[in-house]
Copies of this chain bind each other. A is one copy, B any other.
């Protein structure tokens, strides 16, 4: 028996972002695993079993998919966006490292996708046009003071900052605290982009400034981009503004 596990990025929430490689990997699978709403994006095919789980059960889901693969199946684990960015690929690696030695012989492929920050950036221009970082605001698996240190380091050194997992019912205050912290390091006019559900009917994108950015405008599915001192906004008559970060920098304050 020689199973195969493909960890697949579906990109933002619309079929036009699913790469041909991801489509082929989905078509090959006997069994599909994933968080329910991501699985729901995959067209149903006869003979494929579906194993939906809750979004906080990443370790359990990864272990179940590995066990199924070890039993000889062609398994697909689906992620929104890119599976390697705050998603399932790391969970699969963690479970593989902790699991039975035999799992190390399994054939595992990661299929990359368009991650949320790239999709949100594309909607408004090129805010990630120069050095940037991606930071999860979830303090479920790391201490909050480490998140604050990373915010300080990134903003202080002039990185644009993409914020994943900004807020949830169980983490209501973290985004507000992050804005407070960033306001101490960055000018009030620093552009802030909120984006959610890119490519879906309920897509929402807005551009504001750090001075007035409202944490309540974000939810679990929102991706934020906080600009640097090199991030500019171009007003356009009759069109949404363009936000971009210059390709050149003059030395930015440390």
Which residues of A are interface residues toward B (Cβ below 8 A)?
9, 11, 15-21, 24, 58, 82-86, 89-94, 96-97, 104-105, 107-108, 110-115, 118-119, 121-123, 125-136, 141-143, 145-146, 149-150, 152-154, 156-159, 232, 234-239, 242, 244-252, 254
Contact = CB atoms under 8 A, between A and B. Distances in A.
25 contacts: A18-B19, A18-B20, A19-B114, A82-B118, A84-B122, A86-B129, A86-B247, A90-B130, A93-B242, A93-B244, A94-B247, A104-B237, A107-B239, A110-B121, A110-B123, A112-B122, A113-B114, A114-B114, A132-B133, A132-B134, A142-B250, A143-B250, A149-B254, A150-B158, A154-B157
A69 B254 CA distance: 40
A-B pairs with lowest CB-CB distance, top 3:
A90-B129, A93-B244, A133-B133
Nearest to A123: B110
B105 A111 contact: no
A126 B112 CA distance: 10
Contacts of A112: 17, 114, 118-119, 121-122
Contact of A143 (B16, B123, B234, B251): B251
Given A90-B244, A244-B94, A245-B90, A122 B126 contact: no
